[in-house]
């Protein structure tokens, strides 16, 4: 029976070898880093966006000075732009949220205060200003849009209130969200990229997928960091799915602490969960069953859209492993240059000298 330990050891070694081989799948980390860059707003567009913001702020200041001097507007950029998670959509558009604050008690309705801001913005572009529920939207068609939520912020009160069309004022503090996100981002530099990947997924799928804020909260609350972004994203998606299976909710970590999923009907909820499940299945295929980077990239691209780059039509992990073996042989002095220009350990041609230049 002395052979049993040897058989057991051989079995463990065989299974370890199988696991190592299974890990030799398409590494798409570099593609994700390129995807992150592709989601960034180009400098020219960002400069135009900032210039438009200043022009619109000036219009608001002038309008209130001329028509409502007792109301003096102040401004605070909020949302994804402030957090550094704004993305370029598949339509090559982007947005900015610029809060309009009035430090005083109001003597008009929330809707009236919004209309005053709308009157200030009218005529800024060829498109009509949209009077939405919680903001005024100025569209620069095919380029970007700027949203202006309106707040009352009494001088003796630290809690701003957001004007909501036909519904009065409600407690809301976007600065708290930004401060919360800064704290979360400090825990992992990978968070910003994962948030942008989730937002890119939502933009690609659309059909009432969760808002950018919801994606940000889901990423921060469920992040599974990894040296590779493809692995981190898949594991984060799995964690999000597990969390939502327990409780389908997404609470804002700031005033008023509302649940962003509370208003979801069955159709919208099922659409999101179905997209999430499909994404996880393809992410598993890309990471566990597909050694070819091009084929793996197509699986990712199916969910992340045209901004996600195609990979190389090769087994990139195997190629990297081969290059590593060559490097090791050169360092050990066991490498030979063949007539074809390749390097191998076959002692058939010119023996390479051991590499001794380690930089300096």
Give 122-167 pLDDT, tens digit per residue.
999 999 999 999 999 999 998 999 999 999 988 777 789 999 999 9
Q: Where are the alpha helices (DSSP H) in the chain?
A: 3-23, 29-38, 43-67, 79-83, 110-121, 174-187, 191-205, 212-222, 229-246, 266-288, 293-304, 316-332
Which of 151, 177, 203 is the last residue in one of the domains? Answer: 177
Q: Residue 314 — pLDDT band, cuts 50, 70, 90?
A: confident
Mean pLDDT (the chain, rounded): 88
Are both 229 and 168 inside the same structural domain? Answer: no
Is residue 16 scored above 70 in pLDDT?
no
Are both 217 and 293 inside the same structural domain? Answer: yes
Residues 134, 151: Cα–Cα separation, whole Å: 10
Distances (CA, A) of 131 to 88, 96, 107, 150, 153: 24, 16, 20, 11, 21
Out of 97, 98, 203, 229, the active site residue is 97
Which of 177, 209, 236 is the last residue in one of the domains? Answer: 177
Average pLDDT over residues 55-61: 98
Are both 166 and 209 inside the same structural domain? Answer: no
- Is-cis flag, bond preceding 296, omega within 30? no
Annotation marks residue 203 as catalytic: no
Q: Residue 27 — pLDDT band, cuts 50, 70, 90?
A: very high
Out of 98, 147, 230, 282, the active site residue is 147
Q: pTM of the entire structure? A: 0.82
CATH value at residue 148: 3.30.460.90
Answer whether residue 310 is part of any domain: no
Annotation marks residue 95 as catalytic: yes
The pLDDT of residue 127: 95
Answer whether residue 154 is part of any domain: yes
Answer whether residue 311 is part of any domain: no
Answer whether residue 324 is part of any domain: yes
The pLDDT of residue 6: 39
Answer whether residue 184 is part of any domain: no
The pLDDT of residue 335: 60
Which pair of structure tokens corresponds to residue 265? 């009907």
Residues 99, 102: Cα–Cα separation, whole Å: 10
The pLDDT of residue 342: 62
The pLDDT of residue 22: 47
Are both 47 and 173 inside the same structural domain? Answer: yes
Q: List beta partners, residue 164.
A: 168
Is residue 237 scored above 50 in pLDDT?
yes
Are both 155 and 78 inside the same structural domain? Answer: yes
Are both 150 and 168 inside the same structural domain? Answer: yes
173-196 confidence digits (pLDDT tens): 999 999 999 999 999 999 999 999
Are both 64 and 113 inside the same structural domain? Answer: yes
The pLDDT of residue 315: 77
Are both 99 and 218 inside the same structural domain? Answer: no
Answer whether residue 294 is part of any domain: yes
Are both 293 and 326 inside the same structural domain? Answer: no
Residues 145, 138: Cα–Cα separation, whole Å: 6
Answer whether residue 163 is part of any domain: yes
How many domains does the structure of the chain reveal?
A: 3
Annotation marks residue 97 as catalytic: yes
Average pLDDT over residues 35-52: 97
Residue 31's closest CA among 278, 303, 301? Answer: 301
Are both 31 and 77 inside the same structural domain? Answer: no
Answer whether residue 271 is part of any domain: yes
Domain limits at 327? 316-351
Is residue 95 scored above 90 in pLDDT?
yes
175-184, 255-264, 316-325, 343-352: least confident range? 316-325
Which of 120, 148, 177 is the last residue in one of the domains? Answer: 177
Are both 226 and 123 inside the same structural domain? Answer: no
Out of 51, 91, 95, 245, the active site residue is 95
Are both 278 and 297 inside the same structural domain? Answer: yes
Is residue 37 scored above 80 in pLDDT?
yes
């Amino acid at each position: 029976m002395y052979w049993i330990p040897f058989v057991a050891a051989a079995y463990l070694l065989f299974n370890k070898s199988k696991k190592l081989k299974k890990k030799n799948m398409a590494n798409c980390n570099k593609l994700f880093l390129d995807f992150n860059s592709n989601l960034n707003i180009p400098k020219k567009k960002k400069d135009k966006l900032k210039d438009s913001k200043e022009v619109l702020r000036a219009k608001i200041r002038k309008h209130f000075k001329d028509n409502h001097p007792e109301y003096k507007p102040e401004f605070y950029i909020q949302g994804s732009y402030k957090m550094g998670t704004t993305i370029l959509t598949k339509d090559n558009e982007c947005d900015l949220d610029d809060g309009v604050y009035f430090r005083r008690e109001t003597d008009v309705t929330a809707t009236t205060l919004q209309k005053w801001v709308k009157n200030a913005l009218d005529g800024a572009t060829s498109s009509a200003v949209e009077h939405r529920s919680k903001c005024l939207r100025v569209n620069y068609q095919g380029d970007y849009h700027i949203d202006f939520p309106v707040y009352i912020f009494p001088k003796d009160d630290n809690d701003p209130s957001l004007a909501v069309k036909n519904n009065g004022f409600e407690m809301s503090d976007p600065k708290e969200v930004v401060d919360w996100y800064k704290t979360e981002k400090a825990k992992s530099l990978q968070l910003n990229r994962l948030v942008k990947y989730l937002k890119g997924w939502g933009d690609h799928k659309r059909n009432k997928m969760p808002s950018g804020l919801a994606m940000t909260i889901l990423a921060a609350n469920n992040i599974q960091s990894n040296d590779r972004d493809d692995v981190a994203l898949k594991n984060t998606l799995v964690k999000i799915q597990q969390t939502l299976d327990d409780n389908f909710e997404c609470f804002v970590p700031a005033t008023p602490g509302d649940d962003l999923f509370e208003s979801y009907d069955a159709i919208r909820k099922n659409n999101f969960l179905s997209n999430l499940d499909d994404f996880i299945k393809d992410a598993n295929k890309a990471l566990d069953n597909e050694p070819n980077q091009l084929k793996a990239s197509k699986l990712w691209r199916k969910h992340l859209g045209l901004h996600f780059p195609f990979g190389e039509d090769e087994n990139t992990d195997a190629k990297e492993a081969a290059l590593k073996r060559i490097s090791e042989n050169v360092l050990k002095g066991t490498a030979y240059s063949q007539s074809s220009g390749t390097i191998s350990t076959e002692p058939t041609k010119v023996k390479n000298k051991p590499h001794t230049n380690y930089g300096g």
